[in-house]
Structure 1
Amino acid sequence: MNMLPASLARRGVAAVAFLGVCVLASLSAAGAASAQDKPRIVMLGGPLWDPFFGAMKKGGDDAARDLNVDYQWITGTDPNNFVADYAKLVKQAASQKPAAMVIGNYFPDTLDPIIKEITASGIPVIIQHDGGASWRDIGAISYVGFSARDLGRSVGEREIKAGAKFGLCVNHVPGNTTLDLDCLGYNDAFKAAGGDSKVLTIQFSDASNPTFVSSAIRGALQSDQRIDAIWTIGAVQGVASVEAVKQSGRKIVNASLGLSLGSLEALKNGDLLFIADLQPYLDGYYALLAAYQYVQYKMLPMGQISTGPLMITKDNVDEVLKVNVTYPGVRGAS
């Protein structure tokens, strides 16, 4: 299996090993807990129309069941007003004074001040998946996720190895600093190799419309003949990119992020070179586990808990498809 550089991989393995040991202790303790001992933990995540966040929620659901936690998943539902709605939901959840909060910090410009107030009030907060650049600054006790810029750089290097010289990074959540860093890292790789890249921005309200996304990518390909590689940062957008490339008639090195049945089939058929899997199930499971352990025992893994990426290629895609049949939803494929 293909991972990020060894230094990052070692940190991820260490964190996972630590958490794996702690799961056994936590499960034993949780089994003995009475109903009134349940800590209340809320998890705020992304919209469930994206299979990525479905897997993240399932991770949280499974951890809550295993640990006997009073747990609630909260997210917005309106793509046209997601930032404002999500910020309001974070405030409302904090007003209920839960034992701990797990928050996806998707829009730091809006959410950083809110989260800083929450942590200052004494509620422990773990930042999950998005917001890895600022979690310490806003008083969070930990971050579960990945290094966005390193991820983008790794993706770019793989595409360059496949012959690409000019990449297109498709950002479908403008204002989300994680995706901004993804694209910066992607550009880092192309610049270092003597090439270049550009960003195609798609509004979040349009991001779940495959026809719109495909048309936008096809337009980018038509308007810039230099583009010979694409990276979409979501499964829906990845499937849409396959159609765009086919319609363009050009040879494009195409990669994506996040798993769906459509993207996995595209990978198996050779329409995608690889998919970067951030393993959102682990984001949900480990974030809730870490929050629980902190609330109950005041124990906490030191530093960032790395959960990805794992690179899915034609060599291991069949294994992932099999897992998805056996354990639906765990890999985010739907």
Structure 2
Amino acid sequence: MRTTRTTRTTRTAAVLSTAVALAALTLAGCSGSGGKSSEDGPQRSGGGGRAADTPRIKIAMITHSGEGDTFWDIVQSGAKAAAAKDNVEFLYSAHKEGKEQAQLIEAAIDQKVQGIVVTLAKPEAVGAAVKKAVAAGIPVVTINSGGQHSKALGALGHIGQDEAVAGQGVGEELTKRGRKKVLCVIHEQGNVSLEERCAGVKEAFKGSVENLNVEGTNMPATTSSIEAKLQAAKDIDAVVTLGAPFADATVKAKAGSGSKAEVDTFDLNAAVVKSLKSQAVGFAVDQQPYLQGYLAIDEIWLNRTNGNVLGGGKPVLTGPAIVTAKDVPALEKYTARGTR
């Protein structure tokens, strides 16, 4: 069943409301009065940008990132900034395979970390490990993917975008642009969030949608697969990639195939912003990965030091937002420094 406009409007309002609350929280956190932790809650050191006076804790982030995915560099940048502010030792590890990701979670538990941030791209593979962390008294925050599984696994909450809503937004945008046949490129087979994105596109788009699975960790092979598909199906007039690095691969594949399809993508990086500016990419969907990393560390720190839970345990949405060439002037300086 299609999501109604009322539902999407309500979710958009929730995103805006959350953003206002989080902005207030950030301002309050940066205006520390220099005192130590007390019954009034954690307070930051005064002046000089020093870390919080709260006891140093160790937080591990374990994601499903594959090699070379710049999206996760941005997530880590946000997490590291929050860690420096919150007096946190930040540990990062990743594996694209669910079984290995679960083993990394187990290793973090054995290290007796005080918090875990984890993605749920393959919830069936990592769910038991997440439950084990929660049972051990380690607060867990999920980010980016698999948000619908977060609460059942005992996590404090989920930070990211609603993937189905994001996909629907793309489908609606493609319809407005008059597209008729879309190729949706899935760069990691079995990733539930990527599948939700393509399903959302298909649900809202007035034309036809075909999925293409590629080997996302092998960019030359990815480019070749997309190029071959565009050569075989000349009626494809739009290609949607689900990660910023794959937009550039698709632009190359388009040139090699002689296709006239529009290239659009989820996620931003400096290369995508440059392509938006040159109109090699039509639009991008920004889910603010820096914010996902930053808020995840902050939520665990707040929970450990003050018993807080962002969003009352409900998902905290960081997107989606459609970004086009007109938005480039406001974004270039941030993507250039690796925070958007």
For 2:183, the equivalent position in structure 1 comes to 168
1:143-154 maps to which residues of 2 (within 5 A)?
143-154=158-169
Determine helix, strand or coil for the equivalent of 2:326. Answer: coil
1:1-334 maps to which residues of 2 (within 5 A)?
5-27=8-30, 28=32, 29-31=43-45, 37-45=55-63, 46-47=65-66, 49-76=68-95, 82-190=97-205, 193=206, 195-206=207-218, 209=219, 211-301=220-310, 302=312, 303-325=314-336, 328-331=337-340
Q: What is the CA–CA distance in structure 1 between the aligned matches of 2:58 and 2:334, rounded to whole Å?
A: 31
Instruction: Give the conservation status (yes or no) of the 8 Å contact 2:231–2:258.
Output: no
Q: CA deviation at 1:98?
A: 1.8
Q: What is the CA–CA distance in structure 2 between the aligned matches of 1:181 and 1:298, rounded to whole Å?
A: 33
Q: CA deviation at 1:215?
A: 1.3
Structure 1 37/10 Cα, relative in aligned 2: closer, same or farther at 3 Å? same
Instruction: Give the conservation status (yes or no) of the 8 Å contact 1:23–1:289.
Output: no
Q: What is the CA–CA distance in structure 2 between the aligned matches of 1:174 and 1:304, rounded to whole Å?
A: 25
> What residue ranges of structure 1 are gaps of 5+ in the alignment?
none
Structure 1 155/36 Cα, relative in aligned 2: closer, same or farther at 3 Å? closer
Q: Which structure is higher in RCO with an 8 Å CA cutoff and minimum separation 6?
A: 1
Determine helix, strand or coil for the equivalent of 2:259. Answer: coil
Q: C-alpha offsets along residues 271-297 of structure 1, whole Å, 9 cap, x if unaligned?
A: 111011111000001111111111111
Q: What is the CA–CA distance in structure 2 between the aligned matches of 1:259 and 1:48, rounded to whole Å?
A: 17
CA RMSD for the aligned pairs?
2.1
Q: CA deviation at 1:63?
A: 0.5
Q: CA deviation at 1:35?
A: 6.9
**TM-score normalised according to structure 2 size:** 0.87
**TM-score normalised according to structure 1 size:** 0.88
Q: What is the CA–CA distance in structure 2 between the aligned matches of 1:138 and 1:84, rounded to whole Å?
A: 17
- List 4+ stretches of structure 1 deviating above 6 A: 32-36
Q: What is the CA–CA distance in structure 2 between the aligned matches of 1:143 and 1:297, rounded to whole Å?
A: 19
Instruction: Give the conservation status (yes or no) of the 8 Å contact 2:185–2:211.
Output: yes
Query: What letter corresponds to residue 189 of structure 1 in structure 2?
Result: A
Query: What letter corresponds to residue 38 of structure 1 in structure 2?
Result: R
Q: CA deviation at 1:268?
A: 1.1
Q: What is the CA–CA distance in structure 2 between the aligned matches of 1:160 and 1:16, rounded to whole Å?
A: 29
User: Which deviates more from structure 2 when the two are superposed, residues 100-109 or residues 219-228?
Assistant: 219-228
Q: CA deviation at 1:13?
A: 1.9
Give the number of equivalent residue pairs: 316
Q: What is the CA–CA distance in structure 2 between the aligned matches of 1:304 and 1:200, rounded to whole Å?
A: 29
Q: What is the CA–CA distance in structure 2 between the aligned matches of 1:67 and 1:20, rounded to whole Å?
A: 17
